[in-house]
Amino acid sequence: MVLVVLSSAAKCVSQSERFMQATVKWTDGAMFVGESGSGHSVVIDGPEDLGGRNMGFRPMEMVLIGTGGCSIYDVMSMLKKSRQKVVDCRVELQAERADAVPAVFTRIHMHFVVSGTGLKDSQVKRAVALSAEKYCSASIMLGAGGVEITHSYAVEEFAAS
């Protein structure tokens, strides 16, 4: 099981995002550097027992983080548009992979924790549902590929110290 936490906005795909490019370059052992078309880089590496140095994300961790990032972006965007006073938002992801090659994701659970002042439970519930059912390209794509994706949420009142 993999647990990833992303902290904090829905989006339409701009022309520059409709057609995407990326480059992944091998550097050494099981290490690679990926560069997005927008110019951002990320290190991808394997564990030491598979020839890596454990200095970067595993490819499937990036898929999971990307899925969480896509969904939390949608949720935050909808909450901002509905004028919710969000102080913090995170999505905690738990994933299960097949015990065979290819070790694809079989299940992903996303748990959103939204804190703020005077948040409306109904608005958070709606934002999570719309992201899951309509807006999050990554989770919808994975779901269409057979991954069981579930969602839950919690609303926490922010207590200023």
Domain covering 2-13+58-157 in this structure, CATH number: 3.30.300.20
Please report the pLDDT score of residue 8 as a whole number. 45
Please report which confidence band the pLDDT of residue 89 belongs to, taking 50, 70 and 90 as the band edges: very high
Please report the pLDDT score of residue 134 as a whole number. 97
DSSP the chain: -EEEEEE----PPPHHHHS--EEEEEEETTEEEEEETTS-EEEE---GGGT--S-SB-HHHHHHHHHHHHHHHHHHHHHHHTT-EEEEEEEEEEEEE-SSSS--EEEEEEEEEEEEES--HHHHHHHHHHIIIII-HHHHHHHHTT-EEEEEEEEEE----
CA distances from 23 to 31, 52, 138 (A): 14, 20, 19
Enumerate the β-bridge partners of residue 113: 90, 154
Question: What's the average model confidence in pLDDT over 64-87?
Answer: 98
Domain boundaries, the chain: 2-13+58-157
Question: What's the average model confidence in pLDDT over 113-136?
Answer: 97
Average confidence score pLDDT of the chain: 92
pLDDT of residue 86 exceeding 60: yes
| Cβ atoms of residues 71 and 92 within 8 Å | no
- Between residues 158 and 100, the one the model is more confident about: 100
Question: What's the average model confidence in pLDDT over 107-134?
Answer: 97
Please report the pLDDT score of residue 160 as a whole number. 74
Q: Residues of the chain with pLDDT > 90: what percent?
A: 86
Please report which confidence band the pLDDT of residue 6 belongs to, taking 50, 70 and 90 as the band edges: low
pLDDT of residue 48 exceeding 60: yes
pLDDT of residue 10 exceeding 50: no
Q: Residues of the chain with pLDDT > 70: what percent?
A: 89
